[in-house]
């Protein structure tokens, strides 16, 4: 990290280590030496890639959504994405400075607020393409389920960690009831993709919390049963699964996305050289991965997939030395949620999963998505910060738990 910062590339002022010595006791100085700078750098690279990708997709999106009456500037969505990043990144940095106790408190408060908002979505939310997922606030709208995701993980981690103090507490049934309630609210919108995310992350956290293999098998079977029931009783799922498995119905979106992604070959057609992107329905959001493939090649797509994998792996490896059950559950849940969302979006674009309407984290255009992801990453950075009061021995795996003698 220090080699990179001392080279020709100039880092942002708050990331310059020369400004903050190890003896610096200011809030920003402590934050800089405690934060996982490798993880922060990978997220910064991902945001930079997203800006380039949105710039590439913006002309196609502007042409599609100009409506014939109002002509958007070719880089309309690129300029808007810069604004959203300028608003979201400071939020991520501010949250990453919080102590774990405050992270826990914010998770519980955020869950209560956005769970209440989710309850009102089917009642007051505007209907778009047969679904109600948004709530209007003044001149803008937000999607409560996107903001609920990170807070829900933190709240669930707190609930499951209570079992460590008292094994008699019915934390597993309580968590099952809570995730079931969220699933019902999401299906009322309906939003099958987010339901899968919530359910899968909850099952992963339950496994980390120590449930038996028998219970884990029952949960996995219940998840499969849920997908089957959705196929028979949820028309949108029926159409998309039939189109994916049997080629029936309107399977144009995923087929066109795959053709667009492979049109650029290994190295792409170059920035602005893509033409198939103008036929994509959501080139700047759901199918931005295909735009990247057309203009920058399959090599770029593989590199992005590796970057997502690296972020998840970095978090999980850091948790090997963690002793707090709350921190382990919350950080692992947030990392799994982040990686799963990226995996689903990329799987749809390469035609190995039915269309889900899910954005690619930090790359797809979107205000709600960018802000919600910044909150999630801020929570994750806060939970993986190095504790300055714990000194690690090079000969043991666990932290010593003793204050530094220095």
Within-domain flag for 6:
no
From residue 46, how far is each of 67, 350, 392 by CA, in Å? 31, 20, 31
Percent of the chain past pLDDT 70, that is, above it, reads 83
pLDDT of residue 400: 38
Within-domain flag for 397:
no
d(CA 327, CA 385): 10
Residue 20: band (very low, low, confident or very high) from pLDDT cuts 50, 70, 90: low
How many CB atoms are located within 10 Å of the residue 23 CB?
A: 7
Find where tokens 């689903």 sit: 344
How many CB atoms are located within 10 Å of the residue 192 CB?
A: 21
Within-domain flag for 85:
yes
303-336: pLDDT as tens digits: 999 999 999 999 999 998 888 999 999 999 999 9
Give the closest residue to 303 by CA, choosing from 268, 330, 254, 337.
Answer: 268
pLDDT of residue 250: 52
* pLDDT of 255 higher than 90: no
What mean pLDDT comes out for the span 323-351? 93
Instruction: Please name the residue ranges forming H helices in 263-321.
Output: 288-318
Find where tokens 């932290």 sit: 399
Within-domain flag for 243:
yes
* pLDDT of 258 higher than 70: yes
Give the closest residue to 114 by CA, choosing from 204, 236, 207, 198.
Answer: 198
Within-domain flag for 20:
no
Within-domain flag for 13:
no
Within-domain flag for 401:
no
Within-domain flag for 171:
yes
* DSSP code string of 193-246: HHHHHHHHHHHHHHHHHT--HHHHHHHHHHHHHHHHHHHHH-HHHHHHHHHHHH
What's the residue count for the chain? Answer: 406
Angle formed by the axes of helices 171-187 and 144-161, nearest 10°: 170
Between residues 354 and 159, the one the model is more confident about: 159
Q: How many domains does the chain have?
A: 1
pLDDT of residue 392: 42
284-305 in b/e form (b: 16+ CB < 10 A) is bbbbbbbbbbbbbbbebbeebe
* Residue 140 φ/ψ, nearest 5 degrees: -130, 175
38-80: pLDDT as tens digits: 999 999 999 999 999 999 999 988 888 766 445 678 898 999 9
pLDDT of residue 178: 93
Domain range for 205 is 29-383
Residue 397: band (very low, low, confident or very high) from pLDDT cuts 50, 70, 90: very low
d(CA 121, CA 334): 24
pLDDT of residue 164: 82
What mean pLDDT comes out for the span 169-174? 89
């Amino acid at each position: 990290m220090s080699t990179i910062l001392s080279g020709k590339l100039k880092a942002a002022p708050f990331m310059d280590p020369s400004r903050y010595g190890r003896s610096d006791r200011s809030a920003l100085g402590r934050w800089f030496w405690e934060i996982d700078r490798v993880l922060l750098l990978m997220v910064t690279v991902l945001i930079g890639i997203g800006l380039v990708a949105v710039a590439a997709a913006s002309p196609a999106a502007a042409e599609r959504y100009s409506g014939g009456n109002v002509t958007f500037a070719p880089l309309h969505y690129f300029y808007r994405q810069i604004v959203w990043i300028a608003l979201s990144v400071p939020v991520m940095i501010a949250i990453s400075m919080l102590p774990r106790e405050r992270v826990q408190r914010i998770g519980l408060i955020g869950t209560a607020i956005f769970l209440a908002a989710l309850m009102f979505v089917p009642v007051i939310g505007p209907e778009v393409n047969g679904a109600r997922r948004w709530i209007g606030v003044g001149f803008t709208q937000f999607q409560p389920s996107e903001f609920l995701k990170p807070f829900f993980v933190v709240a669930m981690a707190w609930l499951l960690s209570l079992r460590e103090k008292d094994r008699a507490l019915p934390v597993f049934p309580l968590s099952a009831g809570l995730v079931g309630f969220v699933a019902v609210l999401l299906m009322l919108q309906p939003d099958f993709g987010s339901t899968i995310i919530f359910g899968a992350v909850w099952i992963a956290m339950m496994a980390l919390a120590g449930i038996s293999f028998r219970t884990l098998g029952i949960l996995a079977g219940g998840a499969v049963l849920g997908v089957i029931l959705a196929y028979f009783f949820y028309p949108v799922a029926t159409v998309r699964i039939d189109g994916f498995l049997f080629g029936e119905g309107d399977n144009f979106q995923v087929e066109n996305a795959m053709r667009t992604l492979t049109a650029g070959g290994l190295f792409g057609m170059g920035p602005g050289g893509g033409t198939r992107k103008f036929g994509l329905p959501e080139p700047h959001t759901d199918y931005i991965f295909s735009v990247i493939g057309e203009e920058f090649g399959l090599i770029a797509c593989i590199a992005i997939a590796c970057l997502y994998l690296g972020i998840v792996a970095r978090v999980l490896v850091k948790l090997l030395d963690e002793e707090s059950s709350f921190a382990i559950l919350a950080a692992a849940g947030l990392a799994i949620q982040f990686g799963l969302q990226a995996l689903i979006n990329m799987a749809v674009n390469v035609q190995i999963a039915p269309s889900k309407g899910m954005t690619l984290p930090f790359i797809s255009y979107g205000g709600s998505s960018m802000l919600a992801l910044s909150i999630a990453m801020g929570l994750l950075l806060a939970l993986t910060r190095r504790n300055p009061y714990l000194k690690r021995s090079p000969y043991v795996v666990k932290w010593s738990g003793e204050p530094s003698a220095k």
